[in-house]
Amino acid sequence: MNARLRIALLLTLALVAVVAAACSSGNTPTTTPPSATQPPAATEPTPVQTAPPIEMVSAPAPLESIKVVNGANVSLEVVTLLNSSSCSSFEGFQQTLEGNTINITMTNLVVAPGQLVACTMDIGYVETTIPLGDGIAVGQTYNVVINGQSTNGFTVSEDTGRDMVNAPAPVQSVKVITTDTNITDVSLALVSTLPMGSSCSSFAGYDVTRDGSFIRVTMTNLQVAPGVLAPCTADFGYVETTIPLGSDFEVGQTYRVIVNDKLTNEFVARNPDAQAMKIALAPIEAVEILILESFPPQYNVVIASRLPLGSSCSQHYGFDVARKFANNIEITVSNLEVAADNVPCTRDLPVVQTTVPLGSDFQLDETYTVTVNGDVTKEFGAQ
């Protein structure tokens, strides 16, 4: 190879080497190794999920039972309900004395409406003793109203030093009464007796419970305990008691009153917005005594009465039962009639059949008389 050719070849190789070096230096990225003392990148903490607080509100406590403890210190023993022990608790009570009426408000704390809270299905009971001694006087009769409902009445008895017990008070008559100004506000007017005389017995009070359309009343006396030798007066006094039932009734619904386990009354809740009506005696068409085949025998009185003003101007109202004497039963059957004069009425004169249960409290072979509206009489012999 001649000298000139070798020189050209060397120059070509040198040029290729320079170009390759230049390309290599322009395309290779430069990296810096991380420092051993550089702290790691900070991270955000995970938030803790907390349930929102449950809002609780006051609500009237449902009443289960109320009992008056009459003695040196009068008190009430009240049992209220908790619809769920996990979602309600007893809050407390407040009481005020207005004249001879003791007003008591009893409340629970319950979950506020609109909150989605899982509650247990158990029913809880709360027993509360409420002292009534402040402001009450011996010999006075007081009415107890709890959460707007008349529940009890009692007479404060004087401590005679003798052993006294509670006993059912013999009830002679019970009447359902309203006023012309407020026909929906219903009360009971009762007459009871003191069979041991005024020196050995006194009126103790009453308890009222409402169970649907049934109103149950218990009337009691406080009398000398059996076996106690005490001279008693021969006066057998009468006690007149008025029990306010309020106006919490469903219009058109029939309600029955049971006093000391005996049916005494039936009435229909009236509509204050309807045309003015008055209570009048129902004309009686027929009376029948029905003795049921049971042991002991049950006695019913079946009464057919008429609506004398037609169905558009009159309706059946109810009945009252009174036993002023042991062997005489007085029944009053009433209608509601239009109070205004010259009102056009339908010409139908419907007959209403009413069944009055008398129970089984009758002495064998005794004769009993049933009087309906004062002039229709039936007799029956107890079997």
Contact 319, 300 (CB under 8 A): no
The confidence score (pLDDT) of residue 194 equals 93
Going from N- to C-terminal start, the domains of the chain cover 55-159, 160-274, 275-383
| pLDDT in the model for residue 262 | 93
**Tokens 């009890």, residue located:** 152
Alpha carbon distance 242, 213 (integer Å): 20
The model's confidence at residue 16, banded by pLDDT at 50, 70 and 90, is very low
Percent of the chain at pLDDT > 70 equals 85
Contacts of residue 206, defined as CB under 8 A and 6 or more positions apart, other chains included, come to: 152, 153, 154, 190, 217, 218, 219, 220, 241, 243
149-205: pLDDT as tens digits? 999 999 887 776 678 888 999 999 999 999 878 889 999 999 999 988 888 888 999
Residue 143 has pLDDT above 50, yes or no: yes
More confident residue, 41 or 137: 137
pLDDT tens readout for residues 339-365: 998 899 998 989 999 999 999 989 999
Token pair for 9: 């070849």
pLDDT at 114: 86
Which of 154, 55, 65 shows the shortest CA–CA distance to 102?
154
* Segment among 44-53, 67-76, 200-209, 211-220 with least mean pLDDT: 44-53
Instruction: Look at residue 47 in the predicted model and tell me its pLDDT.
Output: 67
What is the structure's pLDDT at 308? 93
**What pLDDT, in 10s, does the model give residues 241-277?**
999 999 989 999 999 999 999 999 999 999 988 889 9
**Which of 19-23, 201-205, 270-274, 286-290 is least confident?**
19-23
pTM for the predicted model, two decimal places: 0.78
